[in-house]
Structure 1
């Protein structure tokens, strides 16, 4: 094998880390069988294929060289929406954790130059092995908080531990990392209903854990992404600082709602839709200037959704599909969008069934520009975008957090707060209450 052929295979092997054989075949104008034979070294690709592979592996635009001003970790990272926001204000990601293998694929395709590994299940990571960092970021899953068994203690006024209140939840893992690493600040994200879950008791556990037990100064706000994108999507943002700061939500600049509408994220059928090397004609046919017809609802599905809406309307319920036009604001995109697309259906005019958003349009609806790579199937992409965050929301929050993060050089305070409990017991040598609880809850 000559040097040129070796180079082709190197690029091919690298490309197959980010694309399936079907996706690679589509982008190279080939077929899956050919890609399989190339990968198995049964046949040799033409030398010119290396140029196409190089383009697929290069990030869009020039690689910016920038000095980072603070370090952060990305927990429950999903596809990296919060990370992108904090990188834009000068942060450097030094640790990532995401358990879903498909989300990992999308994350890896968009952050290829990481010097750290992409960790899986955070419950299996020792907090002491996580690098020092200035900011902890976590869009932790909203799982019910278990407070069973503590009502008697509450009634008796007896103190009960954090571990009893949060058994079976992943918020526990955020707390144990905050306890050990003591970063200068954190940002947590969750659904709006977190505040009202279990009559407010769940959120009270979170608040007391962060502020009273871990000593952080916290600030909470529900933000609607409609300020930045054409989507009604309310999320609670919890910001915390290790030391007192002048942070105030009044500093957050929110554009007026309605500045952007659905027409701003849809594929353009007037000949101005930009060519995307990674997408090719997968979502939008540039020759015909039309969205791929597979996204248009079948007559059977469209009739079902209409009948479903009528049935619930007669019962006085609000269930039904969400039809949007150019000047509309979409409902909240959910992880179930792949099933029927009912929450956001694009009106295509009289005589034509509506259609789903394409994955590229979903990415735009989450505030991600067209350089964002979508290396997974449509079903996986819909789930990922439905579970993701609207990036510009967190960019705005990151901008007002940053001055409070970089005001002084980060200095770990583990020894000041956790080395000794005043009785000669070294807490760093003893199991943390959070770590002890994790062992008990897993067993």
Structure 2
């Protein structure tokens, strides 16, 4: 029996474990080339997609070599090294020496019909405006229609029926369409294309998501469990949250970071002040050379401690807050959990800047294992399998016997499948008139049925379907 012919061919650069592959394969595409320099990620990719991408793009696409075959869609979640700002070079020449130059070289030689680039949000920020402009100018110089205004998306902003996931993971996408020769004089090309927008603009992630829908203990592993020290830190700050709720008569904790070490400044200044009013802390002098944001946080912390010092001092002494049991980073709390009554009811991150607590609706972006989210109600970290769900991968996705740390790393570096699926769909819709010059590729993508809707832990497709 002959297999159905692929609707288009795509290449998967900086492929990771295959987030782009999952989305484009669901559209009926065939991967004709993939490359990934991380050996463990390449093994995971090969295990699930039947193609070993292990290699180096700089060896496959340069001035002398072009090992990347012909294709219709180019996908790349590329690292972004800074481009030089010296001299008068522009476009591809200025990008030389960066990994984007290798992408540009492929585009120059192979001329894919659609280009999809993905990167961290900061690429579209003011500090990287030069790099952004070089990327846009390079694509335009090679004959592509591309919006200069950035398009930033996150899976938690997509409703579940569109493949959204409860993970705040903002990424910038650059999508471009090759201008067919027959369209080069089309007057519509004189206008700047609109930036992409994704469906579900009325979706409220704070009300719509419940992280519990994506969790189950069947895939829990020992590495997810909390250490005795971690439980101590959470128990201590959990009591602090509840005590302060009573102390502040039902008002939630302030939104600025609470720095317990700064409270010692108030105590010491109070002790030194011989004219002090008994039991009334004095606000210490702040170094005027400190950054304004730090001075602001210090003032707020001093005032907070001054207002509640009796309760805070008793709590700190009870838990040994200023002993070796609490590293400096665990003497800080960033409360972003609104009215959540207990710390154990939140989702937590152990960060260098402190313990960050959020409401248990959607998770922060997946990062390295040392900052893997802790789900308070489950009293453990999210499991590797659960992180895969948050990236839109099914429970059939196979990590083999690799270390959990490798899976966490791969998920933290990955791209969300549902976001990619929708970005491509919306790009094709926006440029439908232009893609008519490239055959049926645009129509085949527009007519595809979404196959990345969320599935319950037992694998049953939830009853969500997009409209339109």
Once the two structures are superposed, what CA deviation does each residue of 1:265-305 show, in whole Å capped at 9, x if it has no partner?
Answer: 111x5xxx6xxxxxxxxxx3xxxxxx344412102234467
Do residues 365 (structure 1) and 381 (structure 2) align? Answer: no
What is the Cα deviation at residue 252 of structure 1? Answer: 3.5
Q: 1:346 pairs with 360, 365, 375, which one?
A: 375
Superposed, 1:90-109 pairs within 5 Å as 90-109=28-47
1:262–1:324 contact (8 Å) kept in structure 2: no
Which residue of the partner structure matches residue 155 of structure 2? 225
What is the Cα deviation at residue 311 of structure 1? Answer: 4.3
Once the two structures are superposed, what CA deviation does each residue of 1:379-431 show, in whole Å capped at 9, x if it has no partner?
Answer: 110110000011101111222345649745569xxxxxxxxxxxxxxxxxxxx
Give SS of 2:408's match: helix
Distance, in Å, in 2 between the alignment partners of 1:313 and 1:141 is: 38
Distance, in Å, in 1 between the alignment partners of 2:258 and 2:106 is: 46
Once the two structures are superposed, what CA deviation does each residue of 1:347-374 show, in whole Å capped at 9, x if it has no partner?
Answer: 137xxxx321110010011111111111
Which residue of the partner structure matches residue 394 of structure 1? 420
What is the Cα deviation at residue 103 of structure 1? Answer: 0.5
Structure 2 regions of 5+ residues with no counterpart?
159-163, 238-256, 264-293, 298-331, 335-352, 441-468
| Greater Cα radius of gyration, structure 1 or 2 | 2
Structure 1 regions of 5+ residues with no counterpart?
1-63, 154-159, 274-283, 285-290, 412-443
Which residue of the partner structure matches residue 228 of structure 2? 299
Give the 3 Å change call, closer, same or farther, for CA 97–197 of structure 1 in structure 2: farther
Q: 2:58 pairs with 110, 120, 123, which one?
A: 123
1:98–1:121 contact (8 Å) kept in structure 2: yes
1:221–1:249 contact (8 Å) kept in structure 2: yes
Distance, in Å, in 2 between the alignment partners of 1:196 and 1:379 is: 30
Do residues 74 (structure 1) and 32 (structure 2) align? Answer: no
Q: 1:216 pairs with 144, 154, 161, which one?
A: 144
Q: 2:199 pairs with 237, 244, 253, which one?
A: 253
TM-score, scaled relative to structure 2: 0.59
Superposed, 1:9-408 pairs within 5 Å as 66-112=4-50, 114=51, 118-126=53-61, 128-147=66-85, 149-150=86-87, 153=88, 160-162=89-91, 165-196=94-125, 198=127, 200-211=129-140, 213-219=141-147, 220-226=150-156, 227=158, 228-243=164-179, 252-254=198-200, 256-258=203-205, 259-267=208-216, 284=219, 291-303=220-232, 310-311=259-260, 316=297, 318=334, 319-323=353-357, 327-334=360-367, 336=368, 338-341=369-372, 344-348=373-377, 354-375=379-400, 376-402=402-428, 404=432, 407-408=436-437
Distance, in Å, in 1 between the alignment partners of 2:261 and 2:19 is: 35
Distance, in Å, in 2 between the alignment partners of 1:94 and 1:347 is: 44
Give SS of 2:377's match: coil
The aligned length equals 306
Distance, in Å, in 2 between the alignment partners of 1:89 and 1:264 is: 26
Give SS of 1:204's match: helix
1:189–1:235 contact (8 Å) kept in structure 2: yes
Once the two structures are superposed, what CA deviation does each residue of 1:149-174 show, in whole Å capped at 9, x if it has no partner?
Answer: 32xx4xxxxxx243553344211111
Distance, in Å, in 2 between the alignment partners of 1:313 and 1:86 is: 51
Distance, in Å, in 2 between the alignment partners of 1:164 and 1:398 is: 29
Distance, in Å, in 1 between the alignment partners of 2:397 and 2:357 is: 26
Which residue of the partner structure matches residue 449 of structure 2? none
TM-score, scaled relative to structure 1: 0.62
Which residue of the partner structure matches residue 248 of structure 2? none
Which residue of the partner structure matches residue 51 of structure 1? none
Distance, in Å, in 2 between the alignment partners of 1:406 and 1:296 is: 51
Give the 3 Å change call, closer, same or farther, for CA 77–410 of structure 1 in structure 2: farther
Distance, in Å, in 2 between the alignment partners of 1:312 and 1:217 is: 54
1:89–1:398 contact (8 Å) kept in structure 2: no
What is the Cα-based RMSD across aligned positions, in Å? 3.1
